Amino acid sequence: MSAMEPDLSVELAGLKLANPVMSASGTFGYGTEYAPYLDCSRLGAIVTKAVTLEARAGNPPPRVRETPAGMLNSIGLQNPGVEAFIAEKLPPLREFGVPIIVNISGQRIEDFVRLAERLSQADGVSALEVNISCPNVEHEGMFFGTDPELTARLVAAIAETSAAPVIVKLSPNVTDIVEMSVAAQQAGADALSLINTLLGMSIDVEARRPHLGNVTGGLSGPAIRPVAVRMVYEVAQEVDLPLIGMGGIMTARDALEFILVGATAVGVGTANFVEPASTVRVIDGLAEYCRRHGVPRVADLVGALEGT
């Protein structure tokens, strides 16, 4: 590495990342699936598919469907449960030698607390990412992530228990993302991830039924990027926590949109399906941008929007 090589490292919630590029939860399996296609040890961090206390089967198929510049998914929370995750999925993940962030989900606050207890102490888990875009069975299925009070209670309970940094992943399906961010910050979140998928639906008009077996699903991909960038921008103005921006990032240019409006790191999701090596291409592209613009450290670009 020459003296002019830009420094891509960033710090986030106490973690030192070699670069700001992570996989987005649910789009990179447990790391090993993509190992034949790229050098996973180059990632800033790997974020896993959601882990729940017990094994979950997921939603009825069809589960994915392409939409204009995006896709809908209704995977549901299919996963082998936390114990199987620790026993089977975590050891190979550790081999990559990069920070592992475990995305967790549950139906009651207690579920999350038990997950945090168990996972935050597990060997090789660098941080937890709390998926709050899920219904709370104790509150008539109200989504945790659409109510600031529920979010605050959930995050406070996890933050109290977790030995690892707590990243709260926000849902975009809200009137005021800033309100949710402030609630998470006050409750003790160490960082925020945004955004999760937008709730969407598409119809097979010949068969007159929804394409997805589960009727509705989560919209991801380039189509949602303008919404995601706007939300990161809004939150960055009002909240002091480091942000992980995601939503439709395909290239370094896209990642830079998020970084310039205030994201310290970025997640690459749907793009992995299109191009398995998307993450490393984004990393290389960020370095190239820094070189071209004479930016010594990518961290200098965080929030470096001009004239707004």
Partner 1 sequence: MPRAVAELLHREQAAPGHYLLQLRCPEIAADAKPGQFVHLRLSEGLEPLLRRPFSIMRTEPREERIWLLVQVVGSGTGLIATHDEGTVYDLLGPLGRGWRLPRANETALLVAGGVGVAPLIFLADALSVSDLGVYVRSLFGAATNEALVCWTEFAGRCNEFTTATEDGSAGEQGLVTEVLARELERGDADRVYACGPPGMLVEVARLCAEYDVPCQVSMEQWMACGVGACLGCAVPSAKGPQEYVRVCTEGPVFDTTEIAWDRMRP
Total number of residues binding ligand FMN (CB under 6 A)? Answer: 25
Instruction: Name which of partner 1, ligand FMN, a second copy, none residue 274 binds, using a CB cut-off of 5 to 8 Å depending on partner kind.
Output: partner 1
Q: Spell out, one character per residue from 204 to 233, where the chain touches a second copy: x when CB under 8 A holds, - when not.
A: -x-xxxx----xx--x-xxxxxxx-xx--x
The residue count of the chain comes to 308
In the chain, DSSP finds a helix count (H) and a strand count (E) of 9, 16
x/- contact string, 68-107, with partner 1 (CB under 8 A)? xxxx-x-x--x-----------------------------
Would you say 250 or 263 has its CB closer to partner 1? 250
Our finding on whether 235 is near ligand FMN (CB under 6 A) is no
DSSP codes joined into one string, 142-197:
-BGGG-HHHHHHHHHHHHHH-SS-EEEEPPS-SS-HHHHHHHHHHTT-SEEEE--P
Q: Does 61 bind partner 1 (CB under 8 A)?
A: yes
Helices (H), the chain: 82-84, 90-94, 109-120, 148-161, 177-186, 225-238, 252-260, 271-274, 278-293
Return the amino acid letter for 157.
Answer: A
Q: How far is residue 168 from each of residues 55, 140, 154, 257, 279, measured CA to CA in Å?
A: 22, 22, 10, 21, 22
Query: How far apart are CB 73 and partner 1 at their closest, in Å?
Result: 6
By the rule CB under 8 A, 303 interacts with partner 1: no
- Of 12, 102, 130, 134, the catalytic one is 134
SS3 call for 279: helix
- In the stretch 75-114, what mask flags binding to ligand FMN with x, by CB under 6 A? x---------------------------x-----------
Instruction: For residues 40 and 44, give the distance between their C-alpha atoms in angstroms, rounded to a whole number.
Output: 9
* Kind of pairing between the strands at 70-73 and 64-67: antiparallel
Q: Which does 276 bind (CB under 5 to 8 A by kind): partner 1, ligand FMN, a second copy, none?
A: partner 1
228 vs 196: CA distance, rounded Å: 9
**In one letter, which amino acid is 16?**
K
Name which of a second copy, ligand FMN, partner 1, none residue 272 binds, using a CB cut-off of 5 to 8 Å depending on partner kind.
partner 1
**Does the annotation mark 134 as catalytic?**
yes
Closer residue to a second copy, CB minimum distance, 87 or 203: 203
Report residue 218 as tokens: 């989560």
- Known catalytic residues are 134
Residues found near partner 1 in the complex (CB under 8 A): 26-29, 33-34, 36-37, 49, 57-58, 60-66, 68-71, 73, 75, 78, 213, 221-222, 250, 270, 272-276
